[in-house]
Every structure is written in C-alpha cells, then in structure tokens.
C-alpha cells in the first residue's frame, strides 16, 4: 500500500458492505453515493472510473432484461405451469417435481426474479384448486430458481460478470456449470421430496376440475409469442456461436432486445420502465468502487494472504473460494461478493497460477449461496413476499399454510446450499484435480 | 349577476342512505345498499359520528384472491367457480367493522359544490359522506347528485 490514504478506500468498502448487510438504505442509492464520493475525492480519477465499468456486462444485462420483460407478458410462463399441472395429473408430489424442473429450466435462460414473479401466483392458484399446502412447492421453486440460474452464462448476474471479466464463453458455462447444475438439481429434488412428501399427500385429485382449465387463454397473442421465443432462441444461438462470429454477448443480447421491441405492439417506454435500473446502477457503482479499492493494492494483500494460507495449493485455494463465496453471498448478496472475488482471483493469476478452476468455484459458490438465507438473493424476498401476502389475505384461522419467514426459509435453504456446495466440491475435484 | 341556484354541498346531499353500526352483518348492509340503490355503507356510532365506510369496491376486493389480483389472467381460464363460491361464503361471516375503511374523506354541508367535484375528478371517489357542524352524518354526495345539479343549473339558464 503506497500511503496512508490508500487504506481509506478498502475501509470505506468494508463500511459499505456493512451498510448493505444492515439493509437500512436502498442498496443502489447508497452504493452510487459511495462511488461518487470516491471520484470526487480522487480515490479514483474520472477516466479510470469510466474505464472500470464493464459495458459488456451492463449491455448483456439490459438486453436480457428487455427480452425477458417482453416474453414475461406473453403468458407463456403461466401456460407452461398449467401444462405441468396437467402432465402431473394433479398429483401434488409430481407437480412439485415438474414445476421445480420448469422453474430451474426457465431460470437458466431468463431472469430468476421474473421467473419467480410469474410462476408463484399460478402455483398458488394450482395449489388452491388441488387443496394442498402451497408452502413446500413455492419454497422449492424459489430454491430451484437460484439453482437453475447457475447453469448458464446468462442465468444469474454473477455468471454474466464472471464470464465477461474472465473471458469465459457461453459454451464454457455449458461445459462446466450446466452438468453440475443438472446433477445438483436431481440431488436437491430428492432431498426436498424426502422433506416435503408428507405435507403433499392428497387422497383425492379433482381431475375433472383440472381438465376444465383452459390454459391456452393465458397466451394473448400466439403469433407474437412464437416470434418472441424465436428471437430468444436466436440470441441463444448467437451466444453459442460466439467463438465463430466473435460478436460480443452484449451486442447479441441488445440486438435481440431491439428486434423484440420492434415487433412488440407495446410502447417501448413502457418496456424500458421494466429494466431493473436499480440493479444496473448498483453494479455500475460497484465496478467503480472495486477499481478504486484495487488500485490501493489492498486486494493484492488478500490475494497473497489467501495464496500463502493455502501454501500455493491451487486445489485448496479453489475449495476455499467455493466455500467463502458461498457463505459471503448469503450475507452481502452475491454481486459485491462476486466483484471482490474476481479481483482476488485476478491477483492470484498474476502470480503465474492457473486460476481456471477458481472461476467455476466462484460462480458455483455465488449462485448456490443464494439459497442460504432469505436475504441472500432477490428471488427469495420476491417469492416469499407474494406467498406471504396471499396467506395474510386469506387471514385465516383455518389456513393450512405457514408463512415463509427468515427462519424456515434459511433452515431448509442452508441445507440446500450445504448439499449444493458439497456437490460442487466433488464436481470440482473430479473435473480439475483428478 | 346573481346565481339562480345554490352551489353548496347541502343542496346536493342524498340523505336516505344505508348506514348502521359496526356490528351490522355484511349481508344486511348489502341488502340496504340494494334497497336504497347506493353503493356505500356508512358505519356510525350512537352519536351518528362516522366510524368508517365501505363500498361495493371493498366487497369486490374480498372476492378476488391475491394471486389473481397480481396475475389477472388467471381469472380467465375457467374453474374459478369454487374459489368464488368459497369467497362469497367467507363474506357471510363478516360484519361491517371487518370491511370498513377507517380513514374517511368527508365534506361539510356548508362547503361548496366544487370540492365534491374535485374529489370525484382527482381522487375518483364515487361517494363522499357529508357531515354537519356537529360532525354527525347527514348523507352522501354521489355522481348522480352532481349530474342532477348540473342539469338543474343548465335548465335555470333557459
């Protein structure tokens, strides 16, 4: 560290993390104020601050948010959920399995929060018709939204950032993250089945009632829905063929976004409003803050410390990153945590070490860590909120359901995370260190 | 130029309205609302002071499950008869106090008609309770009362 003033940015960053944990202020606003403070007091100069913002990440996020917000309004998510009900022939346990798989699949390609926002109400509707408790199913869907997002480059924001910063492609994620996500999905599904099967027992299934549901009415404009899905598929093809075309992911996503806007009958301004500006500003500010902290040399100290702690053992270092990123994500949320670890891993790379496995450890830790507590990921809060408001509204003494609160979510969630991290540990061991 | 009509709230107010105590059953309140063709029920205490109100909107609100409120498309795929029936049944156990909104915007008899017009236009109120100087319920002003007054004024010109 060059001078005493070099200690200020890391300390301020720690203070910011503390403020984020306490959740007293809106995270995007407080982080933006910190970033502005860093620039005003020259902890980072303006040019460097602008340079530090990864526009590939921002463009990819904004592009996907636009595509998702258009697809979300087509009704296709709800349509698929009712299809799962019919496929399960109304049997609650099967329904839980099918809906969980659907949610994991959708979350792998689309924003997790949007997925939960659309799948939860229809699940509450379905469980109402079946007369079973919605608790096990909704809580499972939340867990699988976080798990499914791990599978691809675009599934979860940490993956987008890691992909962009570490130059990992969509196909790299398909090769390294998708298999472990699939394995983990089936293991967690079995675990949740064992935990919840008794709560989901139901003797009589109202098959006649289920047959009467006209799910096709959920899709308002069939032609447009098909066009929107086609654009999403083209965007995915664009990601997969990146190594041939060399078109940046952000450009692919943004082309899909503006093409879908062109075809949509909705006003573009109305769709722009659905972009999560709060997350975008949060991320931009974090980029600036991390760059300021990085240039003090403080992060190199951590990298060196971590590296000497494990005596230069890459394998041990990888597991350490998996564990610490998994645990810290559940406390600070996975964005600040991912950016911090990226800098630390880059520091380790400078020592001439092959850090490739560490990127996957970070991604798996940050994404799977989202299940550890109710505040670990935005999905958890959104899903629990819809569920609880529904319970409250029913208000009822004879309500068969319990609320999703911090304790019960974190109890099952930390178990889910623990198992996911164990699966990741074995996966990393087998894939890289055998 | 002198005005040929009076433009005070007391000249619009509808006095024959459904009102009663907080303990009135919702079904009885609804019956009164149908009888008097007014879609508001004003809850008053013994001194005729307003304790709360509920309108048809508050009753409809109880009939729609939360998950349909946030995803209205789910209300259009059939098989909702059971849910609706259950909801209506749960209404029958309720009393006025369970439905009423306690924060009530009122008008005073002596105030000008324009106040009612603004509340209807800006806040989209269908009904506004009217009280006297002693803060006792006098009646309500509704959209029809305003319409009638407008006609009355137009006729007075010709």
Q: Is residue B27 included in any domain, yes or no?
A: yes
Please determine, for residue A189, whether its predicted confidence score (pLDDT) is greater than 70: yes
* Confidence at residue A20, expressed as pLDDT on a 0 to 100 scale: 86
Q: How confident is the model at residue B81 (pLDDT cuts 50, 70, 90)?
A: confident
Residues A363, A379: Cα–Cα separation, whole Å: 17
- Test the A interface: residue of B60, B62, B64, B67 with most A CBs within 10 Å: B67
pLDDT band at B6 (very low <50, low <70, confident <90, very high): low
| A137 close to A93: Cβ distance less than 8 angstroms | no
Q: A434 pLDDT exceeds 90?
A: no
Residue B1 lies in a domain: no
Can you spell out the DSSP letters for A98-156? HHHHHHHHHHHHS-HHHHHHHHHHHHHHHHHHHT--SHHHHHHHHHHHHHHHTTSTTTS
Please give the ipTM for the structure prediction.
0.76
pLDDT surpassing 70 at residue A10: yes
- φ/ψ (deg, to 5) at B129: -65, 145
Per-residue pLDDT at A305: 85
In this prediction, residue A397 carries a pLDDT of 44
**Average pLDDT of the residues in A84-99:** 94
Dihedral over Cα of A216, A219, A223, A225: its sign:
negative
The predicted-structure confidence for B13-61, as pLDDT tens digits, reads as follows 999 999 999 999 999 999 999 999 999 999 999 999 999 999 999 998 8
Q: Where in the sequence is the domain holding A113, given as residue range(s)?
A: 4-432
Kindly state whether residue B138 falls inside one of the protein's structural domains: yes
B157 contacts chain A (CB < 8 A) = no
Give the least confident one: A101-115, A237-251, A291-305: A291-305
| Subunit contact A217:B74, Cβ cutoff 8 A | no
What crossing angle do the helices spanning A135-149 and A356-368 adopt, rounded to 10°?
Answer: 160
The 10 Å Cβ neighbour count of residue A43 is 22
Write down the residue that tokens 């990123």 correspond to.
A325
Pick the range with the lowest mean pLDDT from A75-89, A183-197, A246-260, A397-411: A397-411
Q: By CA distance, what is B66's nearest residue in A?
A: A390
CATH number for the domain including B125?
Answer: 3.10.580.10
Compute the nearest-CA separation of B66 from chain A (Å).
Answer: 5
Inform me whether the C-beta atom of residue A47 falls under 8 Å from chain B C-beta atoms.
Answer: no
Q: Could you give the number of structural domains in chain A?
A: 1
**Which of B61, B63, B79, B89 should we substitute to test contact with A (largest number of A Cβ atoms within 10 Å)?**
B79
The answer for A42, left when phi > 0, alpha when psi is -120 to 50, beta otherwise, is left
Segment among A63-77, A203-217, A285-299, B1-15 with least mean pLDDT: B1-15
Joined together, the tokens standing for residue A183 give 């394995």
Question: Is residue A342 very low, low, confident or very high in pLDDT (cuts 50, 70, 90)?
Answer: very high
Quote the tokens at residue A145: 């939204």
Task: Locate A126 and state its tokens.
Answer: 């379905």
**Furthest CA-CA distance within chain B:** 64
* B contacts of A80 (beta carbons < 8 Å): none
Which of A127, A63, A49, A5 is CA-nearest to residue B83?
A: A127
* Average pLDDT for A86-93: 92
Max distance between CA atoms of chain A, in angstroms, equals: 75
Domain that holds residue B140: 9-157
Average pLDDT over all residues of chain A: 90
Pairing between β-strand B50-55 and β-strand B40-44 as defined by DSSP bridges: antiparallel
Residue B3 inside a domain? The answer is: no
From A256, A245, A239, A96, select the one nearest A174 (Cα to Cα): A239
Q: Hey, are the CB atoms on B66 and A215 less than 8 Å from each other?
A: no
Question: Are A111 and A151 spatial neighbours (Cβ–Cβ below 8 Å)?
Answer: no
Measured between CB atoms, which of B68, B71, B77 is closest to A214? B77
Q: Return the sign of the alpha-carbon dihedral for residues A372, A374, A378, A381.
A: positive
Within-domain flag for B4: no
DSSP letter at B56 equals H
* Look-up of token digits 């098909």: A226
Per the CB < 8 Å rule, is B65 touching A128? yes
Question: How many structural domains compose chain B?
Answer: 1
- Between chain A and chain B, how many beta carbons pairs sit less than 8 Å apart? 59
Q: Do A386 and B70 count as a contact with CB atoms less than 8 A apart?
A: yes
Q: How distant is the Cα of B78 from the closest Cα of chain A, in angstroms?
A: 6
Task: Go through chain A and tell me how many residues it has.
Answer: 434
A395: pLDDT strictly greater than 70 = no
In a domain, B140, yes or no: yes
């Amino acid at each position: 560290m060059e001078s005493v003033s070099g200690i200020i940015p890391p300390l301020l960053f720690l203070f910011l993390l503390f403020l984020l944990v306490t959740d007293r202020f809106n995270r995007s606003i407080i982080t933006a104020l910190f970033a502005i403070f860093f620039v005003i007091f020259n902890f980072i100069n303006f040019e460097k601050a602008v340079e530090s913002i990864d526009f590939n990440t921002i463009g990819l996020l904004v592009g996907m948010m636009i595509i998702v917000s258009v697809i979300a309004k087509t009704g296709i998510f709800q349509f698929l959920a009712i299809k799962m009900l019919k496929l399960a022939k109304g049997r609650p346990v099967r329904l839980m399995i099918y809906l969980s798989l659907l949610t994991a699949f959708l979350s792998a390609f689309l924003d997790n929060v949007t997925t939960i926002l659309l799948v939860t109400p229809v699940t509450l509707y379905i469980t109402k018709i079946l007369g079973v408790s919605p608790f096990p199913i909704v809580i499972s869907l939340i867990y699988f939204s976080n798990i499914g997002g791990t599978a691809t480059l675009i599934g979860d924001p940490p993956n987008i950032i890691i992909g962009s910063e570490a130059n990992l492609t969509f196909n790299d994620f398909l090769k390294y993250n998708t298999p472990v996500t699939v394995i983990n999905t089936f293991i967690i599904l079995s675990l949740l089945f064992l935990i919840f099967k008794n709560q989901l027992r139901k003797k009589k299934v109202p098959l006649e009632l289920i047959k009467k549901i006209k799910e096709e009415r959920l899709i308002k404009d069939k032609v447009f829905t098909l066009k929107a899905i086609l654009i999403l598929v083209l965007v995915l093809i664009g990601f997969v063929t990146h190594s041939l075309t060399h078109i940046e992911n952000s450009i692919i996503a943004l082309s899909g976004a503006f093409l879908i806007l062109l075809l949509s009958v909705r006003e573009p301004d109305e769709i722009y409003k659905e972009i999560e500006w709060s997350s975008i500003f949060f991320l931009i500010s974090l980029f600036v803050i991390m760059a300021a902290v990085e240039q003090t040399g403080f992060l190199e100290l951590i990298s060196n410390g971590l590296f000497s702690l494990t005596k230069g053992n890459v394998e041990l270092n990888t597991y350490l990153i998996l564990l610490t990123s998994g645990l810290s994500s559940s406390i600070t949320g996975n964005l600040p945590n991912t950016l911090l670890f990226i800098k630390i891993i880059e520091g380790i790379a400078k020592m001439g070490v092959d850090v490739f496995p560490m990127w996957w450890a970070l991604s798996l830790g940050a994404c799977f860590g989202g299940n550890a507590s109710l505040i670990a990921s935005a999905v958890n809060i959104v899903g629990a909120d819809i569920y609880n408001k529904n319970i409250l509204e029913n208000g009822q003494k004879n309500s068969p359901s319990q609320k999703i609160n911090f304790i019960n979510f974190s109890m099952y969630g930390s178990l889910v995370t623990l198992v996911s991290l164990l699966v990741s540990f074995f996966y990393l061991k087998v894939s890289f260190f055998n | 130029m002198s005005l040929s009509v009076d433009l005070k709230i007391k000249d619009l107010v509808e006095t024959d309205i459904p009102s009663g105590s907080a303990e009135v059953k919702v079904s009885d309140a609804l019956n009164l609302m149908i009888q008097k063709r007014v879609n508001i029920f004003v809850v008053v205490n013994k001194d005729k002071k307003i304790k709360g109100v509920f309108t048809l909107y508050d009753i409809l609100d109880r009939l729609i499950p939360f998950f349909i409120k946030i995803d209205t498309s789910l209300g259009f795929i059939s098989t909702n008869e059971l849910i609706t029936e259950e909801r209506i049944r749960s209404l029958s156990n309720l009393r006025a106090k369970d439905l009423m909104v306690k924060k009530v915007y009122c008008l005073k008899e002596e105030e000008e008609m324009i106040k009612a017009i603004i509340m209807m236009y800006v806040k989209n109120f269908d009904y506004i309770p009217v009280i006297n100087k002693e803060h006792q319920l006098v009646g309500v002003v509704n959209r029809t009362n305003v319409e009638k007054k407008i006609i009355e004024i137009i006729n007075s010109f010709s």
